[in-house]
Structure 1
Amino acid sequence: MMEDKQIYIIGDVHGCYKTLLALIEQFPNKRNSKIVFVGDLIDRGANSCEVVEFIINNNYDCVMGNHEELFLEYAPNKDEFGENFNMENSSYYFERCGGKATLDSYKNKEIYFKHYDFIKNLPLYLEYKDYKTSDNRYLVVSHSAIANVWDKRDSKDKFDIENFENQLLYRRYKQFDNKDIFNVYGHTPRSEAKLTSFDANVDLGCVYKKEKVINPRLCALEFPSMKVYVQENLE
C-alpha cells in the first residue's frame, strides 16, 4: 500500500517564497504532502535562498531547470563568492535572467555553498513508477517537455546526450506522446495549466508582471487525480 496516494507537482517558483507557502497550505496534507518541483526555483524573484532552503529542509524532490543550469554556469563558485565577484562578466544572466536577485538573497556563505551543491546535483528528470494515470501511464517530471527524446535518455552518444539535455532544459512547444509515461513540466508560462492525455504544463508565470502573463500565479498539479491548485502571487 502506497503511503501517499497523490503527488503534487509544482511549477516554476522563481524565488516567490510567500506564494509557494500559500500554495502548499491549500493541499490536504499541506507540508506533509509528497511534493516535486519542475525546476526554476531561483532567479527573478527576491527570495531564491528561502525557496531552496525550504525544499532542502523538507526533503522535497526537484529536477534541474534552465535557471539552475545558468546559475551553475555564471554565478560564483565556492572560490569566487563574495565581494570580489564581478557580475559584469555575465551580465546576460545577472540582468536579463534575474540572477542578481538570486545572489542578493544570499547573506550567508555557508548556506550559499550548501545550496550550490544541492543545485549541482539536481537530476534532469524524475520517474515515479508508483504514480499512474487510469490508462497506466507512469509519472515523469522534467523542466521542459520531454517531447520526442525520451528514447535517448540512456544513450551514450554525445549528440544524443546533448540533444536530450537541451530538450529537457530549454526547448519549448514540442508535442509528443510517449506512450508509457505522463510528463509534467513547466518552463513555458501559460495563462492556464495545459492538460492533455499524455502531458501537462504547470507554469503559470508566477514571477512575471501582467504585461507578460495575463494572470501570474503559481500552480500545482495533484497527480493522478489531475486536480489543479493555483495561488496568486503574494510577493
Structure 2
Amino acid sequence: MKRTLVIGDIHGGLKGLQQVLKRAKISEKDKLIFVGDYVDGWSDNASTIDFLIKISEKNNCIFIRGNHDYLLHKYLTKNDTNPMWVNHGGASSIKSYEHISEEKKQRHILFLDHLKNYYIDSENRLFVHAGFTNQNGIGNEFNPDMVYWDRTLWEMVCVMDPSSSKNNELYPKRLKNYSEIFIGHTPTTRIGKSTPQNFANVWNVDTGAAFKGCISVMDIVTKDFWQSDPVWRLYPDEKGRN
C-alpha cells in the first residue's frame, strides 16, 4: 500500500531516524516528506545527509529546508561560523565535517542547494519547516527565508479556540489557504507533549529530537505515527543540544 509519510526534525540523530523508519516499515512505494533540520545536534550530521541522499535513490522524497540546514550550507560554502549557530548545534556539524572528503562535501552542498523552502501537494496540503506570515499564502512572503524561521504560525494555532470554524470571520486568513499544514521547527516538548500535535489545521511533527525527545514519522492521511526512542538515549556519550 502506497503511503505518504512526513518526517520530523532529525538534528544529526541518524540512529533514531533509521530506527523509526524501520518501525514505520517503510517500503520503496512510500513517499517521504522531510520537514527539515537534518543537522546540528547529535554527532551523525554528515552521515545523516549521506543517508538521505541514499534513500532518495529508492524512494520518492521531498526535502524541505530547515534553518539549521541553511546555516550548515553557509558554513560549507562560505566558512561562516556564526557564533549563535555554533552554540546551538553547529559545533557538532563542524566536527562532523572535519574529515569529510572534498568530493563528499560537494555532494552534500548540492543536496543542500536543492532543498525546497516548501511543498504543496495535489490535495493542497502545505509542508514547510517553520511557518509563514502572509495572509495570502506562503508564496507571497516578503522575505522567503522566514519560512524556515517563523514561529508565529505555531504560536497562533496553539492559543486558538478549538471550536473555531473556518466560516468564522475571525478565523486566521493564512490558515484558510491550505487544507492542512505540516511543520517542524518548534518542538512539541515545549508545550509538554512528546507526540505530533494538531491545532486548527496545523500538524507539528517536531517532537524534540535535538533535546530529550524522539524523531517522529506520520502518515499524512490516517495520522498514524511512529517514533524512535528518545534520541539522547541512542547517543549516551553525547550532550546534543541539551
Mark yes or no: TM-score above 0.5: yes
Secondary structure of 1:144 counterpart: coil
**Which residue of 180, 184, 187 corresponds with 1:186?**
184
> Which residue, out of 75, 83, 89, partners 1:91?
83
Residues 51, 31 of structure 1: alpha-carbon distance in 2 compared, 3 angstrom cutoff: farther
CA distance in 1, matches of 2:109, 2:102: 10
Any gaps of 5 or more consecutive residues in structure 1?
133-137, 210-215
**Aligned residues of 2:12 and 2:44 also touching (Cα < 8 A):** yes
Residue matched to 1:69: 70
Distance in 1 between residues matched to 2:199 and 2:83, nearest whole Å: 38
The equivalent residue for 2:40 is 43
CA distance in 1, matches of 2:121, 2:184: 17
SS at match of 2:106: helix
| 8 Å contact kept, 2:76–2:109 | no
Q: Normalization by structure 2: what TM-score?
A: 0.75
Matches within 5 A, 1:101-180: 101-106=92-97, 107-129=100-122, 132=123, 138-146=124-132, 148-149=133-134, 151-155=136-140, 160-162=141-143, 164-166=144-146, 168-172=147-151, 173-175=155-157, 176=172, 177-180=175-178
Shift, 1:72, TM fit: 2.6
Counterpart for residue 135 of structure 1:
none
Letter in 2 for 1:186: G
Count of matched residue positions in the alignment of Structure 1 and Structure 2: 202
List, as ranges, runs of 4+ consecutive aligned residues in structure 1 with deviation greater than 6 Å: none
Match of 2:176, SS state, is coil
Matched, 1:223 2:220: yes
Aligned with 1:201 (options 200, 204, 211): 204
**TM-score, normalised via structure 1 length:** 0.77
1:96-139 deviation per Cα after TM superposition (whole angstroms, max 9, x unaligned): 1211211222222211111112112211101111xx4xxxxx32
CA distance in 2, matches of 1:127, 1:152: 11
Equivalent residue for 1:29?
Answer: 26
Q: What's the RMSD between the two structures over aligned residues?
A: 2.2
Q: How far does the alpha carbon of each residue in 1:159-205 deviate from its partner, in whole angstroms, 9 at most, with x for none?
A: x431x531x21121233522532111110011231123511000111
> Structure 1 residue 33: deviation in Å?
2.5
Q: Deviations over 1:74-114 (max 9, x none)?
A: x132xx6xxxx6x7x532222x1211211222222211111
Q: After the TM superposition, which of the residue ranges 108-117 and 191-200 deviates more from structure 2?
A: 191-200
> Secondary structure of 1:25's match?
helix
Structure 1 Cα separation of the partners of residues 135 and 42 of structure 2: 32
- Cα deviation for residue 150 of structure 1 reads 6.0
1:213 aligns with: none
CA contact (8 A) 1:152 1:161 kept: no
Amino acid at match of 1:29: I
Unaligned runs of 5+ in 2: 158-171, 236-242
